[in-house]
A and B are shown apart, each in its own frame.
Chain A
Amino acid sequence: MRSIIERFGTAIAGLMLIAFFLVFAPNFASPTNLLNVVKDTSFLAILALGFAFALTVSELDLSIAEVASLVAVLVGWMIQSKVDPWLATGIALAAGAALGACNGFVVTVLKVPSLIATLGMAAIAKGLAFMITQGVSFVGRWPTGFTGLARGMTLGVPNLVWFLVAATLFAYIFLKWTRTGAHMIATGEADEAARLAGIATKRMKRLGLILCGLFAGIAAVLLAANLSSAAPGMAGDYFLYAIAAVLLGMTMIEPGKANVAGTVFAAFVLKVLGNGLVLMGVPYFVQDMALGVIIIGSVAFSASVVKRAAFKV
């Protein structure tokens, strides 16, 4: 009984929150609204899964939102310049991974704690995004070959949902069922023990940060495609949400560990919370405060790994 509460307590609370809004929030239960919540969850969950990869190897990546904004601007710029959408997308994802690799290099080779390294990267990415746009945003009539990535449907299901499902399955299978995933987890759990067992721990740390950058890139491309526009700072709103999703996710299913199912479910719950509060006419700033409480509460509750990752400075 106790372990059920430990593993599913916050998940059950999340379900009750959803039930509450289903009953009391006007229009919440309408199919259009629910679909919008799910679509909005996709950007957030993909970004959060990236953060979870970094946390799995016991590193923090505070640059996710600025990296995502930069990649969005990059892909917007290319689309605006009539680059083939597939090529533009490929380059954008590679850029995300490359920025993650830079974080990995700074953390594992220059030995700068990730808290600091990725904070620096956030500032650099922000600057680069402004440099590319010269302060304006890219908007226009973008080819459907690109916007369709986010706005299209496949087999009657929105593409965003497919991307969410694919990202979730990839992350889950990779971490739970592959050797590299097991080595990443071991590296995050016990760096020295993993090294002594012959695991290439530095490579695993770099890989965690690269995957984080890659996922930020995927979220960015989808975000730009969905809005047909790109501007510096456009992913900024997702920053605290993504961190909150991972931390809240760590309170459920596998308590104390960044886990895929918890992260995705928590991302959905957070989006439900935001949406439901708005529909009930609660002022916007309440959302921010609720987010803050969730972040602090989650870490206090079970996310001891975060404390370790953040304070080994």
Chain B
Amino acid sequence: MTASDEPIYALRAVTKNYGAVEALRGVDLTVFAGEVLAICGDNGAGKSTLIKIMSGAEEPTSGTLRLRGSDVRFRTPQDALQQGVATIYQDLALAPRLSIAANVFLGAEHLRSIGLPFLKMLDKARMAREAQGYLERLSVKITDVSRPVERLSGGQRQAVAIARALRWNADVIIMDEPTAALGVKETAQVLDLIRHLKSEGRTVILISHNMRDVVALATRIAILKGGRKVHELVNEGLRPDDVSHLIMSAPEAA
């Protein structure tokens, strides 16, 4: 286990209301550098909401976020990305008809000067080369990065989304149900990708409904119910059923 005792990301008393709906009710959460933290809970428990707040997609109604020891406030996902927090959304947020390279560099293209003061051109060769490099680092065999993403398998798409996070050099990577739509083989591929991120010392925050994945990957597990964090435990000797049991048996929040 490479996780350290140093918190990289911490939430204090975070609440989020959508009108009358209290999606989160005072959640404290500490994420340690280099760990894989799984966030579990039933449908509607508040997992996606929590992740939206951590990724800058939503602002909390109240509560504070601390990243690497200083208070942060993210207004957009871009703000978070710039501080090294990248999110891979449930629907991946890829542009299906654009090439793999274009997706990896979406919104953050490399440019090169062509000797004119005001005009810079896309550096497509460099982007292709680097996209290829990121995928190789993830041990994904994709030879032609000019292929449109729509022709890839689910696992390969997940890899493209992760490559984009690497392009931002994000050290905190948040993933919402990365294996939800995948088959057995592809799931295994994505789990390998996550292990790979961990081995590079990156911090991964993972939402999953699949307790086998969670037990196989996570260093720690946080369980949400009704917008509250009801458990937080180190993943040692846990079996998938133990986690399921904890989710089911937690007392309903008042």
Binding site for B on A (CB under 8 A): 176-179, 182-183, 185-186, 189-190, 192-194, 196-199, 256-257
Contact = CB atoms under 8 A, between A and B. Distances in A.
A191 to B, nearest CB: 9
Contacts of A179: 109, 111, 120, 122
B121 A197 contact: no
Nearest to A187: B95
A186 B121 contact: no
B108 A198 contact: yes
B95 A194 contact: yes
B93 A192 contact: yes
Contact of B93 (A177, A185, A193, A257): A193
A198 B81 contact: yes
Contact of A190 (B95, B109, B111, B121): B95
- Most chain B CB within 10 A, of A177, A185, A256, is at A177
Interface string B79-113: 00100000001001111111000100011110100
Contacts of B122: 176-179, 182
A190 B96 contact: yes
Most buried by B among A177, A190, A196, A199: A196
Q: Chain B's interface: helix, strand, loop or mixed, by majority? A: loop
A172 to B, nearest CB: 12
A69 to B, nearest CB: 33
A178 B107 CA distance: 12
Given A194-B95, A197-B107, A257-B97, A182 B76 contact: no
Given A178-B122, A179-B111, A198 B77 contact: yes
A176 B123 CA distance: 11
Given A177-B121, A198-B78, A182 B109 contact: yes
Contacts of B93: 190, 192-193, 196-197
A196 B89 contact: yes
Contacts of A176: 122
14 contacts: A178-B120, A179-B120, A186-B95, A186-B106, A186-B107, A190-B96, A193-B93, A194-B106, A197-B107, A198-B77, A198-B108, A199-B106, A199-B107, A257-B97
Contacts of B111: 179
Contacts of A190: 93-96, 98
Contacts of B94: 190, 193
Contacts of B120: 178-179
Contacts of B97: 189, 256-257
B96 to A, nearest CB: 7
What 5 pairs across the A-B complex have the smallest Cβ distances?
A197-B107, A190-B95, A198-B78, A193-B93, A197-B106
Nearest to B110: A179
B107 A183 contact: yes
A186 B104 CA distance: 12
Nearest to A185: B98
A101 B97 CA distance: 28
A136 B120 CA distance: 47
